[in-house]
Amino acid sequence: MILPKLRLAALVAAVCMAVVSGPHAAPSVPESPVRPSHVQSVPLLGTVNPASSELLQSAITDANRDHREAVLIEIDTPGGLESSMRDMVKAILKSEVPVIAYVSPAGARSASAGVFLMAASQVAAMAPGTNLGAAHPVGIGGGSIDSIMSGKITNDASAYMRSLARQRGRNVQWYEDAVRHSVSASETEALDKGLIDIVSRSREDLLDRLDGRRVTLGSGKVVTLHTRGAVIIPTVVSLRIKILNALSDPNIAYLLMLLGFYGILFELMHPGAVLPGVAGGVSLLLAFFALQTLPVNYVGMLLILFSLVLFILEARTPTHGTLGIGGVISFLLGSVMLLRVHGSELHVAWGLIAGSTAITALFFGTIIAAAFRARRLPVTTGKRGLMGERGRVTETLSPLGTVYVHGAYWTAEADEPLPKGTLVRVAEVKGLTLRVVRA
């Protein structure tokens, strides 16, 4: 009986000790706050060109250096230069930081070169009211190419697109059709067809919903995204990039080209003015830089040049407006065709074309009207300019003498004696001698 009593006493003592010392036995350690992750954001607005390519590559380099959680590309592009697109895709594939391609805001699009960027990124997302597609290759220059060359270009682009889509596990057939047949899809269609991973209304919502998703980097490494509540670090766009990107806008390129033509034309019509020629040369060089990144139709450019030739001829030859009207029509057609290339959504705004055509017609119309007025003015030089001019006798004509006519002293003769001071009129010019009659 003693042993059970000892066990009971020990159990009671242990319970009492636990109650007394429980709250102080294991002091709690305060949890350290979880630091939010950082996501590098970079805008892709407007055309895909060397400036936007440099910006994206710089953002990805910064994100890798600073060990960001991801790079977020916010896309709204009609497409652009293939070489710039390939440089951007290479940067995405080599990145050790996951890349999220996000078409936003509502009304934005990712067309042509932008489709390749969507296919290459680890995560492809779209905002409501956006669209994706139409990636058929467009030749820089806009001219027609033979079927063999066209087939080579299309096959090369299709193979590239298939490789990217297959690597990311997306709908390979649709992405190939986007190249071969310029198909497009809204955000809901893109999600249903397996073209993208998610539809999200904002970038904050997108990052929250991507938290915990596993993605595969270009190196084959699988990482898990920790993007919930991430701090978004915007990429600083330098002034140089802003200027280069602005120059690649079709409307800016069109205006620079017109200013260049007008400046050089004015210099040719008024040699020695210097400033118009310098300004025109600089504008043309900037326009050529911009146009090399755009699908230019050279037939359109030649029509614009031809219109300027017609305007000059109209100002110099009396066609009574025929060449001028032809110049206006040629200028309008050239402006419309300049960037209207099959398969490209890049073009000059209609309002800018209409305004430029009106100003050009008004400018050259004024010059032509001035030329017509000049033709109607009486001749004031040479023999014809002296005929009918009035003057005064400065030395008696009997029959030869001297008269003051048209600001100069002339030897003159008359059919009758005319005393000094007589008003006379020039009736005929014989070499350097004038035959005058009494006025």
> Does 120 have pLDDT greater than 90?
yes
How confident is the model at residue 83, as a pLDDT?
A: 86
Pick among 2.40.50.140, 1.10.3720.10, 1.20.810.10, 3.20.20.70: CATH of 382-438: 2.40.50.140
How confident is the model at residue 187, as a pLDDT?
A: 96
Which residues are identified as catalytic?
Answer: 112, 152
- With cut-offs at 50, 70 and 90, classify the pLDDT of residue 121: very high
> Does 172 have pLDDT greater than 70?
yes
- With cut-offs at 50, 70 and 90, classify the pLDDT of residue 141: very low
> Does 4 have pLDDT greater than 70?
no
How confident is the model at residue 30, as a pLDDT?
A: 47
**Cα–Cα dist 152/130, whole Å:** 31
Q: Kindly report, residue by residue over 201-215, the tens digit of the pLDDT.
A: 999 999 999 999 999
- With cut-offs at 50, 70 and 90, classify the pLDDT of residue 49: confident
> Does 354 have pLDDT greater than 50?
yes
How confident is the model at residue 142, as a pLDDT?
A: 44
Higher pLDDT, 2 or 287: 287
How confident is the model at residue 273, as a pLDDT?
A: 77
How confident is the model at residue 318, as a pLDDT?
A: 63
Q: Which of 420, 422, 406, 419 is nearest to 434 (CA)?
A: 406
How confident is the model at residue 18, as a pLDDT?
A: 47
pLDDT winner (highest mean) among 13-17, 192-196, 298-302? 192-196
Instruction: Give me the mean pLDDT over the 229-247 stretch.
Output: 89
Instruction: Give me the mean pLDDT over the 92-114 stretch.
Output: 95
Domain 38-144+151-239 matching CATH 3.20.20.70: the answer reads no
Residue 158: CB atoms within 10 A of its CB come to 19
What are the tokens at 252? 């800016």
How confident is the model at residue 13, as a pLDDT?
A: 53
Location of structure tokens 């319970």: 15
CA 146 to chain centre: 28
pTM for this structure? 0.66
Instruction: Give me the mean pLDDT over the 382-408 stretch.
Output: 82
- With cut-offs at 50, 70 and 90, classify the pLDDT of residue 73: very high
Instruction: Give me the mean pLDDT over the 56-72 stretch.
Output: 95
How confident is the model at residue 262, as a pLDDT?
A: 83
Which of the residue ranges 60-74, 179-193, 384-398 would you say has the lowest mean pLDDT? 384-398
Higher pLDDT, 248 or 22: 248
Q: What is the mean pLDDT of the chain?
A: 83
How confident is the model at residue 173, as a pLDDT?
A: 96
**Percentage of the chain with pLDDT > 90?**
36
How confident is the model at residue 143, as a pLDDT?
A: 45
Higher pLDDT, 57 or 268: 57
How confident is the model at residue 197, as a pLDDT?
A: 96
Instruction: Give me the mean pLDDT over the 28-37 stretch.
Output: 56
Q: Kindly report, residue by residue over 324-350, the tens digit of the pLDDT.
A: 788 889 988 988 888 755 445 567 888
Higher pLDDT, 432 or 76: 76
How confident is the model at residue 29, as a pLDDT?
A: 44
How confident is the model at residue 64, as a pLDDT?
A: 95
Q: Kindly report, residue by residue over 182-192, the tens digit of the pLDDT.
A: 899 999 999 99
Q: Kindly report, residue by residue over 268-311, the tens digit of the pLDDT.
A: 777 777 888 899 889 988 888 877 767 777 888 889 889 888 87
